[in-house]
Amino acid sequence: MKAPAFDYVKPHSLAEVFPLLQQYGDEARLLAGGQTLLATLNMRLSEPSVLVDLSAITELRGLTLAGAMLRIGAMVTHSEIEASALVAQHAPLLPLAAPHIAHRAIRNLGTLGGSIAYADPAAEWPTCLLALDGVVVAKSATGERRIRADDFFVDLYTTTLLPGEIIVACEFPVASANHWCDFDELARRHGDYAIVGLAGAGQRSENTLAQVRLVFLGLGATPLRALQAEGVVKSQPLTASLINQAVAALKNELSAVGDLTSDAATKMHLAGVLLKRMLMKQMQSKNA
Amino acid sequence: MKTLAPATEQARYIGQSLARPNALRLAEGRGTYVDDIELPRMVHVVYWRSPVAHAHIVKIDASFARMMPGVVAVVDGPQMAKICKPWVATLTHLAGMKSAPQYPLAMDRACWQGEPVVAVVANTRVEAEDALQYLVVEWEALPALIETETALDAGSIVIHPQLGDNLCFTRSLDTGGVDAAFASADAVAEVTFQFGRHTGVTLEPRCQISDYNPSEKRLTVHHSQQAPHMMQDLYSRQFGIPESQIRVICKDVGGSFGIKVHAYPDDFATVALSVLLERPVKFVTDRLESFTSDIHARQHRVTGRIAANKSGEILAFEIDDLTGIGPYSMFPRTSAIEGNQVVNLVGGPYRHQQYRAKLNVVFQNKAPTCQYRGVGHPIACAVTEGLVDAIAQKLAIDPLVIRQQNVIRDDAYPMTATSGIKLEGLSHQQCLDKIAVMMDYPALRAEQAALQKRGIYRGIGIAALIELTNPSAAFYGVGGARISAQDGATIRLEPTGAITVMVGVGEQGQGTEAIFAQIAADAVGVSMELVRVVTGDTDVTPYGGGTWASRGAGIGGEAVLQAGLALQKNIVGVASVILKRDVSEIALVNDAIVEISSGQSLMPLAELGRVAYFRPDSLPAGFNAELMVTRHYAQRDYPFIFTNGVQASLVEVDVDTGFVKLLKHWVVEDCGRVINPMLVDEQMRGAVVQGIGGALFEECLYDDAGLLQNGNMADYLVPMAAEMPDIEVAHVETPTKTSKLGAKGAGEAGTAGAPAAIMNAINDALSPFNTTVYSQPITPQKILRALGKV
């Protein structure tokens, strides 16, 4: 299929973007890699009148350490994150998750900001942002604001980003010496949106995890934190029975929406397997 | 491997792994696919397709669409029906088969989601799609028949009331002693198998340019198709245009798998538009409409039973197959062939004496199904091999051993199998012995047992198979379908000593042209660099059937061989006249005429060409140099020439997640003479992967209203490289005696055996839990359910 006609603008600074958003409102779409948007245009699921290509705006690029936060520009690609030594050092969860994002050709073009703004509940970056207690940096013509990931993803493909606002960067707390993180997901084919996935992060001391955040992708309308399961494992030495309690808590607190080949029960079962395996791995690595 | 005697006196190329001469052109993007062709005054068509499974078309309002920029025409079914006759796809040798008349575009009723209803033609594809959005079609949903299980119930709607019921075709086969065999057996196993409807996903979608020239009353169709002469005949009959006035050109084809061997309603519609508009019309299906308008296949529910003695001797098979084919039988090969094949093929490798089969082929409001790579074989093989494993487990006999015990002996041929199929010569015993060595079967079993103690569940699955190739007219011709069972080849010596080979069988990306060049070079006695192969043009090549039923090498290849040998004889005759030597003293070897006794070169072929073409005055009066010859070949000794093989799969099942990891796959196949081992191996591997797709991933998922839910490449899971195992291929060569070449088909056997091998391996891995999965595709959820975990 062929995309319907649209205008195309390629601004070179953020200052040029805001008037365009003001002028076109809902009729404008930001092109931030295009790995989702262009397919929806070709399928005529979306018919914006203008595409604003963000690829030439240097302010949206770059990976920098800013105090206690690692700042990753919205237009940094998945591949750049995957390969960055700075990210590996300060936000090691991200390179663990990156290889699961689609395929190399898509990772070369798709961007962090694009993925966060689209807010697909099965995507890896929103889940990681939430697990790491990250912050979305949004800018509009009137100023900048920081939105915690916990407050950002509100429903299916829906965020608290306001009209006229664009994501300029995401900030991740820099990993401390006892930082713990892990990522795993179950996809029938490598690179597909997973049936279910899990990002875990926290502080590790011997066999105990503290400040644990456990975030699932693919279960519901947004990435979902398992708060009760977090509560079970928090600050207690990991044991097989504690891990089973955490899995039970997870199944008690969250429910899943089934997809075409995995119903809600299957998804919840698989979520429990992922949680159990991730915690067992941590427990065994400490006991070894 | 036993070495075969060469097929020709000179054997420089046949049997060698040679790269395809056309591969570089395609790899560099310099192929000529239909969409690469731009003709003057060409317009583009898109089709409005039914959005629902069953609807009455109330009114078509094209007034807004016609106002859109670039729009040339909006045409509906009744307008097209004035110039294109409807068709009913049945075959007379499938007794009692029925279907309903079908038109290029739906007349007043659409019977599946995706059926073309209205054509919108514009100067560009984008303009046509823009206009399509402004086409207003008023429709009323009709009750739809979705499930095959209820298709024959009294209360169900009848899709075509004039047919009386929803039964397209039914067949029963009974050797007579089945009940007695089951009654006397020591063990009986019964299994119900489910096979998910899936489709063949080609890299290049279906596409066509139809170009009608009214001044000559001549139709030229550029088509991504497998059977150009068949389409020429169909266009001729449906439009009343003389066959000689129709040219079908199939240049590069980007994969076909059977998807492109059928005549689709939109094929006829595009031709009709070209006739009506008197200009070229291009139609390229996009990937989304491919999912609802390409044929689907393989939706079967089969209940099977097997009976055996304590010793492991298989006594009888019984099956009951129900298959849903959509609302129409597909033109012209029909949609009853797949089920019919299942009946013919179940139990095919074995020596049992009793067999009973029942087949019901029913209509439903889903996309039509028809022949797709393997046609019935993946079903029959999975049923047979699943039952053999089930009975082996009951009897506590090793799966390899029970097969070695029961396969038809290699020295028993020719023979007629229990289902009635005639088998010329197969090698089940050699293949089983060979695969056991390849996979180091005892070591694998030992490793499996050791790992199981550590909670790692591996499974080994074996599948023996037979595969129908080199068909005679028994497939279609005897049933009244005008689809050629023979094929021809013309070979011309050029003045420079090069040869040009024209063949009715075309290239779909599988390397057919490469093997034709190998055969021609050896048969004539020239270097392969001097061979040019031309296929896919009804104005140029001899009449032929094209590419299907694994017939290209066996039928087309034999025609090339015979033409090459005949041309060589003629060339030697010319040389004998020029050199004034007796034909018995000279031969054509390596591009030159040589003296046989000394091996000395007497005359390069180029010199012979020069004399024959430019100085015929120097030849004796009355002598004509015939340096272009044509030979035809039809396999007439058997209905089909069967091949055989065995596949094995090693998998690991994660019993917590239900995920299956494919660790290794082995294939031993016997396609007779192997013309190019590398290409046969590639065919095997590609076909195995397609079989794995059906076994684990691919399914056209419909909702209760008959709407396809996963018609896109994100949700319809084709097999991808990351999940595929290494596939090791070995050969046994039992040449067919029905041709000099001795080649049988190799394109489909991989697809036939892989689903059975994978399913058996998974069930072997699950055996410690006393559970099984017989529903394909085998998803993680199905495994978890079998394990009682969800």
C-alpha to C-alpha distance for B175 and B319, rounded to whole angstroms: 13
Mean pLDDT for A263-282 is: 98
Same domain for A168 and A185: no
Distance in angstroms (rounded) separating the CA atoms of residues B366 and B151 = 12
Per CB-CB distance under 8 Å, the chain B contacts of A269 are 784, 789-790
Distance (Å, rounded) from C-alpha B703 to C-alpha B94? 32
Residues A275 and A195 in one domain: yes
pLDDT at A285: 82
- The CATH number given to B296-473+637-786 is 3.30.365.10
Are B266 and B293 in contact by the 8 Å Cβ rule? The answer is yes
pLDDT at A151: 98
Q: What is the helix, strand, coil percentage profile of chain B, to 5?
A: 30, 25, 45
The CATH number given to whatever domain includes residue A235 is 3.30.390.50
CA nearest neighbour of B436 among B411, B462, B458: B462
How far is residue B513 from each of residues B22, B203, B518, B543, measured CA to CA in Å? 8, 19, 9, 17
- Pull the structure tokens for residue B324: 């849903």
Mean pLDDT, chain A, whole residue set? 96
B657 near B667, Cβ under 8 Å?
no
d(CA B511, CA B17): 11
- For A269, which of B701, B723, B784 is closest by C-beta distance? B784
User: Do A228 and A161 fall into the same domain?
Assistant: no
Cβ-in-10-Å burial (0-12, 13-18, 19+) of B33 comes to: middle
Same domain membership, residue A265 and residue A218: yes
Apex CA B479: angle with CA B473 and CA B481, to 5°?
Answer: 80
Min Cα–Cα distance to chain A from B109, Å: 26
First to last CA, chain A: 56
φ, ψ for residue B130 (rounded to 5)? -60, -45
Closest CA to B647 of B398, B342, B400, B338: B400
Chain B contact present for A2, CB below 8 A: yes
Residue B3 binned pLDDT confidence (cut-offs 50, 70, 90) = confident
Distance CA B32, CA B38 (A): 11
- Taking the CA of residue B343 and the nearest CA in chain A, the distance in Å comes to 30
With contacts defined as CB-CB under 8 Å, which chain B residues touch A192?
A: 714, 717
State whether B697 and A189 contact (CB < 8 Å).
yes
Q: What backbone torsions phi and psi does residue B545 show, to the nearest 5 degrees?
A: -85, -30
Q: If you average pLDDT over residues A264-268, what whole number do you get? A: 98
Looking at A113, A145, A173, the residue that finishes a domain is A173
- For A1, which of B288, B657, B779 is closest by C-beta distance? B288
Which amino acid type is present at position B21? P
CB atoms within 10 A of CB B725: 18
Indicate which of B716, B784, B785, B787 best probes the interface with A, i.e. most A CBs within 10 Å of its own CB: B784
What span, in angstroms and rounded, lies between the C-alpha atoms of B302 and B131? 46
Cβ atoms of B221 and B168 within 8 Å: the answer is no
Rounded CA-CA distance B423/B414 in Å is: 6
Question: How high is the ipTM of this complex?
Answer: 0.97
Q: Which of B133, B715, B722 sits opposite A260 (nearest CB)?
A: B715
Cβ contact, residue pair A193, B714, below 8 Å: yes
| Cα–Cα distance list, B94 to B130, B159, B340, B740 (Å) | 45, 21, 9, 32
* Residues of chain A contacting B781 with CB distance shorter than 8 Å: 261-263, 266
pLDDT grade for A286, boundaries at 50, 70 and 90: low
Q: What pLDDT digit, counting tens, does each position of B237-271 carry?
A: 999 999 999 999 999 999 999 999 999 999 999 99
Flag whether A1 is in a domain. Answer: no
Distances (CA, A) of A82 to A56, A78, A98, A118, A171: 21, 6, 6, 20, 16
Does the bond joining B620 to the residue before it have cis omega, within 30 degrees of 0? no
The model's confidence at residue B118, banded by pLDDT at 50, 70 and 90, is very high
What pLDDT shows up at residue B508?
Answer: 93
The whole-angstrom separation of Cα B289 and Cα B429 is: 46
Which of B48, B120, B720 is the best substitution to test chain A (most A C-beta atoms within 10 A)?
Answer: B720
Q: CB of B266 within 8 A of CB of B50?
A: no
Helix, strand, coil % over all residues of chain A, rounded to 5: 40, 25, 35
Q: Which of A120, A186, A269 to mutate to test the interface with B (most CBs of B within 10 A)?
A: A269
> A142 and A87 in one domain?
yes
What would the pLDDT profile of B669-708 be if each residue is shown by its tens digit?
999 999 999 999 999 999 999 999 999 999 999 999 999 9
Please report whether residue A119 resides in a domain.
yes
- Which residue of chain A comes nearest to B656, CA vs CA? A273
CA distance B606 to B611: 9
Distance from CA of A89 to the nearest CA of B (A): 28
Helix or strand (DSSP H, E) at B152: none
Q: Are residues A79 and A166 in the same domain?
A: yes
Last-in-domain residue among A173, A195, A227: A173
| Contact call for residues A260 and A195 (beta carbons, < 8 A) | no
Contacts of B23 (CB under 8 A, 6+ apart): none
- Cα–Cα dist B510/B675, whole Å: 13
pLDDT of residue B542 exceeding 50, the answer is yes
Q: Which residue of B has its CA nearest to A270?
A: B657
* Cβ contact, residue pair B126, A5, below 8 Å: yes
Interhelix angle B337-345/B377-395, nearest 10 degrees = 30
Confidence of residue B1 (pLDDT cuts 50, 70, 90): very low
Hey, what amino acid is at B133? Q
Q: Which of B125, B657, B658 sits opposite A2 (nearest CB)?
A: B125
Do residues A146 and A171 touch, judged by C-beta distance below 8 A? yes
Q: How far is CA B516 from the centre of its chain?
A: 19
Nearest CB neighbour to A260, from listed B701, B720, B790 = B701
The first and second tokens of residue B433, run together, are 């012995």
| pLDDT in the model for residue A287 | 53
Q: How confident is residue A284, by pLDDT bands cut at 50, 70 and 90?
A: confident
- Residue range B608-623: mean pLDDT, rounded: 96
Same domain (yes/no): A210, A108: no
- Mean pLDDT, to the nearest integer, of B387-413? 98
Q: Contact B363/B165 with Cβ under 8 angstroms?
A: no
- CA B754 to chain CA centroid, Å, is 15
Burial (CB < 10 A; 0-12, 13-18, 19+), residue B437, is exposed
Residues of chain B above pLDDT 90, percent: 99
Q: Quote the number of domains for chain A.
A: 3
- Tell me what the pLDDT averaged over chain B comes to: 97
Which residues in chain B touch residue A189, judged by CB atoms under 8 angstroms apart? 697, 717, 719-720, 722-723
CATH number of the domain residue A122 falls in: 3.30.465.10
Nearest CA in chain A to B789: A269
Query: Which amino acid, one-letter code, is at B278?
Result: E
Q: Which domain holds residue A110?
A: 61-173
Q: Which ranges of B439-543 does DSSP label H, i.e. alpha helix?
A: 441-453, 512-524
Q: How many CA atoms lie within 13 A of A48 on its CB side?
A: 20
Q: Are B741 and B438 in contact (CB under 8 A)?
A: no
Q: Is A234 in the same domain as A213?
A: yes
Residues 6+ apart with CB under 8 A from A240: A280, A283
Residue A2 lies in a domain: no
Percentage, residues of chain B above pLDDT 70: 100
Nearest to B710 among A43, A260, A270 (CB): A260
pLDDT of residue A86: 98
Q: Which CATH number fits domain B23-31+486-633: 3.30.365.10, 3.30.70.580, 2.40.30.10, 1.10.287.90?
A: 3.30.365.10
Total length of chain B: 790
Please check whether residue B392 is in contact with residue B184, taking contact to mean a CB–CB distance below 8 angstroms.
no
B665: three-class secondary structure by DSSP: strand
Is residue A46 located within the same domain as residue A139? Answer: no
Q: Does the pLDDT at position A247 exceed 60?
A: yes
Is the dihedral angle over the CA atoms B577, B580, B583, B587 positive or is it negative?
A: negative
Q: How far is residue A113 from each of residues A13, A54, A166, B147, measured CA to CA in Å?
A: 16, 10, 9, 45
Do A106 and A136 share a domain, yes or no?
A: yes
Side-chain half-sphere of B242: how many Cα atoms within 13 Å?
5
pLDDT tens column, A172-184 = 999 999 999 999 9
Tokens of A114: 């694009």
Distance CA B263, CA B330 (A): 8
Q: Is residue A72 within 8 Å of A170, Cβ to Cβ?
A: yes
Taking an 8 Å cut-off on Cβ atoms, the answer to whether A189 and B789 are in contact is: no
CA distance A120 to A220: 10
For residues A145 and A211, state if they share a domain. Answer: no
pLDDT at B575 over 50: yes
* Rounded CA separation B142/B327 (Å): 14
Say yes or no: do domains B23-31+486-633 and B296-473+637-786 share a fold.
Answer: yes
For chain B, domain boundaries: 23-31+486-633, 34-142+205-253+260-293, 296-473+637-786
Which of A190, A269, A277 has the CB atom closest to B790's CB atom?
A269
On the CB side of B245, CA atoms within 13 Å amount to 16
Residue B309 CA from chain centroid, whole number: 37
Task: Say yes or no: A189 contacts chain B, CB-CB below 8 A.
Answer: yes
Burial tier of A259 (Cβ tally within 10 Å: 0-12, 13-18, 19+): middle
* Whether CATH 3.40.50.460 fits B34-142+205-253+260-293: no
**pLDDT confidence of residue B2:** 55
